[in-house]
Amino acid sequence: MIPLPEAQSFVLEQCPPLAAVDVPFESAAGRVIACDVIASELVPPFDNTAVDGYAVRASDVARADVTPVELRVVGEVAAGASTDRVLGAREAIRIMTGAPIPAGADAVVMVEDSEMVAADVVRLSASVESGSSVRPAGDDVRPGEVVVTAGTLVTPQVLGVLAMVNAQTVSVFPKVRVAVLSTGDELVDDGRELAPGEIRESNRRMLAASLREVGCEVTDLGTVRDDEDALEAVLRQAAKSHDVVVSSGGVSMGDYDVVKAVLGRIADMRWMQVAIKPAKPFAFGLLGGTPVFGLPGNPVSSFVSFEMFARPALRQMMGHRRLARPSVVGVADDGLNRRPDGKTHLMRVNATFGEDGRCHVVPVRAQGSHQLAATAGADAIAVVPDGDGVPAGGEVAVLLLVS
């Protein structure tokens, strides 16, 4: 059997990041920045006020907290406007948050510390220092600064930064185009009543949803019957028109050999028995340079295999720097029991963070590779090394099934 890290490294070596593309910044949401974004403008572009109030000369209100000061109001400036008035001694200008600081002023007294005592006279009861409530030009960003580094995921906040610095076009890694299919004469996906020996197809739908969650563009090719010519035609076309092909079924040692026969003939495949449970059987290779993932047919095995191999590779192709799920050291509230078998067991668990600040896990009710209903309730995977398991209260590595 092949150790899990060795199998993962083999896959990642064959799945480099895709070539970057330039897109309008508003189309970059959810993608990864490929090149540093450098500011060309001051942000903010001018000195402005952080509060509503009165622009003043700090020297005029130096002791206003002891003895309130009355100043003549000589104008008003709102956000988006400006004034040519130069503030003189014992004068004030009414100002709104975000508006430019008038020439001659060097501070702002908040409106809460003011009282109008006449149509053009304000009484101020707070002393302020020079620069108080003033946001200087370039206080956030200056020209030449790197505002978004390569490898950054474009979140809503990052998108806001791109707009703020007028980065109209940015270089990003594209979404991976993935073709997904299932194989097998026993699979039914049209809702009809099952005949003897038939089962309902679930893997393809699960994998398609998982691919979309990762951020891929997905083409669902449906279920392909156990016909070599039909399967070869589907695989060849999928590899030509997509960046990745993901198939489910036909990779176990005892499986009917249509998938192996076709991929073994037309692609450079490696058929692996990985030292994990579930998802020991796994196939990976290149078809005309296009990565092909052959995931096992048992639904839980297919899910785990996707998490361990396909998801990290797809994230790498889309430029992500962190490939694996977030991991923590958890506490097993119930024993995670197993027997020595030379494999790492990937047990599906529920994780909660307790009052002690630690992650606590309990296994879901069923761990069979066919028991998808139980696995669907899991929100984490406990990585249990070979041996007798983890006793209640013991520590275990936990992969959180969150992005």
CATH number of 327-400: 2.40.340.10
Share of the chain above pLDDT 90, in %: 87
Residue type, 399: L
158, containing H or E segment:
helix 156-164
Position 368 confidence tier, pLDDT thresholds 50, 70, 90: confident
| Strands 344-353 and 380-384, bridge-based pairing | antiparallel
Q: How does DSSP classify residue 341?
A: S
Is the pLDDT at 375 greater than 90? The verdict is no
The reported pLDDT for the residue numbered 305 is 97
The ranges assigned to domains in the chain are 4-17+175-317, 21-42+142-173, 48-135, 327-400
Find out whether 39 and 144 touch, Cβ atoms under 8 Å.
yes
Instruction: Supply 217's token pair.
Output: 């563009």
Q: Which two tokens stand for residue 90?
A: 């014992």
Tokens at residue 164, please? 């703020």
Would you put residue 161 in left (φ > 0), alpha (ψ -120 to 50) or beta?
A: alpha
Q: What is the pLDDT of residues 145-175, one digit of tens each?
A: 999 999 999 999 999 999 999 999 999 999 9
Radius of gyration of the chain (CA): 31
CATH 2.60.40.420 fits domain 48-135: no
d(CA 319, CA 324): 13
Strands 107-110 and 91-95: unpaired
**Contact between 363 and 292 (Cβ < 8 Å):** no
Cβ-Cβ contacts under 8 Å for 380 (sequence gap 6 or more): 330, 348, 349, 350, 351, 359, 361, 398, 399, 400, 401
Question: Helix or strand or coil: residue 282?
Answer: strand
- For 350, phi then psi, to 5°, come to -105, 135
Closest CA to 343 of 318, 308, 292, 315: 308
21-42+142-173: which CATH number, 3.30.70.1230, 3.40.50.300, 3.40.50.2000, 3.90.105.10?
3.90.105.10
pLDDT tens by residue, 186-235: 888 888 888 898 888 889 999 999 999 999 999 999 999 888 999 999 99
The length of the chain in residues reads 403
Q: Which pLDDT score, from 0 to 100, does residue 371 have?
A: 84
Strand order in the sheet with 114-118: 107-110, 53-56, 91-95, 69-77, 121-124, 114-118
pLDDT per position as a tens digit, 250-288 = 777 665 578 888 999 999 999 999 999 999 999 999 999
pLDDT at 191: 82
- CATH value of 4-17+175-317 in 3.30.70.360, 3.40.980.10, 1.10.3730.10, 3.10.129.10: 3.40.980.10
List, in order, residues 6 or more apart from 71 with CB less than 8 Å away: 54, 56, 60, 61, 90, 91, 92, 121, 122, 124
